[in-house]
Amino acid sequence: MVNYSSKLPPAVLEEFIRPAIHAVPSSMAGELGSCHITLRPILSKPGIGSQWRSLKGALEIVAAFAEVEDHDLAMEILLCLGQALWQQLSEDRAKAYITLLAEEMTAGVVGEIDEAACESKLRLLSRRGSGWSRRSLADYAMASFAGTAAEYVHCLWHDVTVRSGPEHLPPERLRRRLKMFARWFPPDRGYRLFPKAKQR
């Protein structure tokens, strides 16, 4: 269910918010349960674009749309879904994801899926000599997982361009993560993670 201010242009809802939400695989939505999304011009806390909470078995997301690009607003909602999903992920899957992150860091991969995850990763790597705290690792894992979950749904929603550079994940690492999500949360009928191979 999506509640929104009358100030939200209808096109934003129809062209961005609903298509993004509809791309969420049913297996992922089933893990999250009932979800209510509220869109407001601004939130009560300055500088906060979105927030979520789980209340009585239902996920409640509130996102601000004033001075936010329409596409970024949809991605903010998907990021909240990813954060909430991490909180209720099975222990086996959480361990598998953390193992994947450890393999990336051992291989010297510094980049990440988005800015928040990259900042969290750099903070973790800066403390490598003194040992990683469980809290720092948990914070990084959640930021990375949430960003990857959002990007996975983003790829199902529409075609995306892979960004390159030291602050971004190498394409082969990104592909490995997306394949993991596709195994855990297969795309629904009509959605495809990767384009069809061109026939020669």
Domains of the chain plus CATH, in order, are 2-87 (3.30.2010.20), 91-184 (no CATH)
What is the CA 72 to chain-centroid distance, rounded? Answer: 12
Strands 58-64 and 35-40, bridge-based pairing: parallel
- Alpha-carbon gap, residue 150 to 117, rounded angstroms: 12
How many Cα atoms occupy the beta-carbon half-sphere of 159 within 13 Å? 2
SS3 assignment, position 107 = coil
pTM over cut 0.85: yes
The pair of three-digit structure tokens given for residue 36, joined into one six-digit string: 């209510």
Cα–Cα distance between 82 and 80 in angstroms, integer?
5
pLDDT digits (tens), the chain, 200 positions: 777 777 889 999 999 999 999 999 999 999 999 999 999 998 888 778 899 999 888 999 999 999 899 999 999 999 999 999 999 999 999 999 999 999 999 999 999 999 999 999 998 888 775 566 788 889 999 999 999 999 999 999 999 988 888 899 999 999 999 999 999 999 999 999 987 765 55
